[in-house]
Structure 1
Amino acid sequence: MFAIEVAGLTKIYGKGETMVTAISDATFQVKPGELVAILGPSGSGKTTLLTSIGLINEPTRGKVVIDGTVVADEGWRPGLDLKRIRREKLGFIFQAHNLIPFLTAMENVMVALEINHLPRSEARERAEELLTTLNLGHRLNNYPSALSGGEAQRVAIARALANRPKVILADEPTAALDTGNGKNVMTLLKKLAVENHSAILVVTHDHRMVEGFDRIFHVSDGRIAGEKNNLEVTGNHELG
C-alpha cells in the first residue's frame, strides 16, 4: 500500500479573468520508507501541492489518499475529521522551524504529543528519546534562542516525528540553513524515512539538497514535468 497517492490533483484560484491554475493534474505515489523530492523554482506550485496533500488547502479536483484513507475526491470527503487525520497521520516541517520561543526544546516536542492526549510523563519520555536520537540530548532544556539554525531545525524534525506519522511533509526545510547543515538535515530525513518506515515528501528549489533521494519530480508552471533520477538532477544545474 502507498502512504501517499495523488491522482489528477488540480488547484485553481479565482474565476474568470483572475483564474490561476496553481497545480494541474498532478499524479504520483510515495511508498512507506521513501524520500521523494518535488523540485522546482519559486512560484511553480510546489507549496500548493504540499498543502493540498497535507489537508490544509482543498483541491479543486482530483483524489488524495493518505495511508489508505481517501481524504479528497473532487474536494474534501464529507464527514472526515481532517484535523484528527492531520494530527495522527501527518508530520510537518517548514522552512522556518516555528518553535515556540518560550518553551524549551523538549517542551516544543511535548506539545505535539500532548495535543494527541498522551499523558505528560509519557510525552516527556518520548520527547527526550527523540531529541537524544537526533543528537540533541544536551539541548533538552535550552530555549530556541540558544540553539543554532541546524539544532532548531532538528527540534522541528523531532516535533514532526513525535506522533509516529505515516507521512512527513517538508516545505523547503533547508532554505534557512547553510549548505552543510542543509545536507545534514536531508541525510537525517533519509535515515528517518527508512528507520520509521515513513513516507517523506520534500519540496525544494535547490538541486544540491536532493542527493540520496529515492525519487525526484520536477514541477514547472503547476505541472509535474516528469520524474528524474538523482544523477540527472545533481549533475544538471539547470534549475539554479
Structure 2
Amino acid sequence: MYAVEVEQLTKRYGKGDTLVTAIADATFQVRPGELVAILGPSGSGKTTLLTSIGLINEPTHGKVVIDGEKVADEGWLPGLDLKKLRREKLGFIFQAHNLIPFLTALENVMIALEINDLPRKEAKARAIELFHALNLGHRLNSYPMSLSGGEAQRVAIARAMANKPKVILADEPTAALDTENGKNVMTLLKKLAVENQSAILVVTHDHRMVEGFDRIFHVSDGRIAARLTARGSELFSTPTGD
C-alpha cells in the first residue's frame, strides 16, 4: 500500500480571465519510509500541491488517497471528517516552527497528543521519548525563545511525529536555518522516515538540501516537469516510473 497516491491532481483559482492553474495533472505515489522532495522556484505550485495533499486546499480535479483511504475525487469526498483525518494521519512542519511561546518545549509536543485524547501521563511519556530520540532531552523544560533555530525546528519535528502519522508534510522546513543546520534537519527527516515508516514530502526551493532523498519531483509553472535524483550537490534525471 502507498502512503500517498495522487492522480491528475489539479487546483485552479478564479474564473474566466482571472483563471489561474496553480497545479496541473500531478500524478505520483509515495511509499511508507520514503523521503521525497518537491523542488522548484517560488510560485511554481509546490505549496499548493502540498496543501492539497494535506487536506487543506480542496483540489479542483483529480484524486488523492492517504494511507489507502480516498479523500478527494473531483473535490473532497462527502462525509469526510477532514480535521480528524489531519490529526490522525498527517503531520505538518513549516518554515517557521510555530511553537506556542508560553508553553515549554515538552508541552508543545504533548499538546499534539492530548488533542487526540491521549491521557496526559501517556502523552508526556511519548513526548519525552521523542525528545531523547532527537537529542533534545536537555531542552524538555525550555521555552521556545531560549531555543536555537535548529533546536526549535527539531521540537517542531517532534510535534509532527507525535501521533505517529503515516504522512508528514514539510513546507520549506530549512529556509530559516543556516546550511549546516538545514542539512542536519534533512538528515534527521530521512532517519525518521525509515525508522517510523512514514512518508515524508518536503517542499523546498534549495537543491542543496535534497542530497540523500529517495526521489525528487521538480515543479515548474504548476506541473511536475521532471523526476530527479541527487548525487552530492548534482541533480540528474531519473526514469518516470515508480
TM over 0.5: yes
Partner of 2:190: 190
Cα displacement (A) at 1:138:
0.3
Partner of 2:233: 234
CA separation in 2, counterparts of 1:17 and 1:135?
A: 53
The code of the aligned residue for 1:4 comes to V
* Equivalent position SS for 2:75: coil
Partner of 2:203: 203
The code of the aligned residue for 1:234 comes to S
Cα displacement (A) at 1:234:
2.7
Q: Alpha-carbon deviations, 1:32-68, whole Å to 9, x = none?
A: 0000000000000000000000000000000000000
Partner of 2:12: 12
The code of the aligned residue for 2:100 comes to I
Contact 2:228–2:235 (CA under 8 A) maintained in structure 1: no
Partner of 1:175: 175
Partner of 1:154: 154
The code of the aligned residue for 2:69 comes to T
Cα displacement (A) at 1:236:
5.1
CA separation in 2, counterparts of 1:185 and 1:207?
A: 14
Q: Which runs of 5+ in 1 are unaligned?
A: none
Moved over 2 A (4+): none
CA separation in 1, counterparts of 2:204 and 2:128?
A: 29
CA separation in 2, counterparts of 1:20 and 1:99?
A: 33
The code of the aligned residue for 1:12 comes to R
Partner of 1:141: 141
Cα displacement (A) at 1:176:
0.3
Aligned length: 236
Partner of 1:49: 49
Identity %, equivalent residues = 82
CA separation in 2, counterparts of 1:185 and 1:119?
A: 30
CA separation in 1, counterparts of 2:144 and 2:118?
A: 23
Partner of 2:115: 115
After superposition, residues 6-45 of structure 1 pair within 5 angstroms as: 6-45=6-45
CA separation in 2, counterparts of 1:9 and 1:103?
A: 38
The code of the aligned residue for 2:89 comes to K
CA separation in 1, counterparts of 2:5 and 2:145?
A: 38
- Alignment TM-score, normalising by the size of structure 1: 0.97
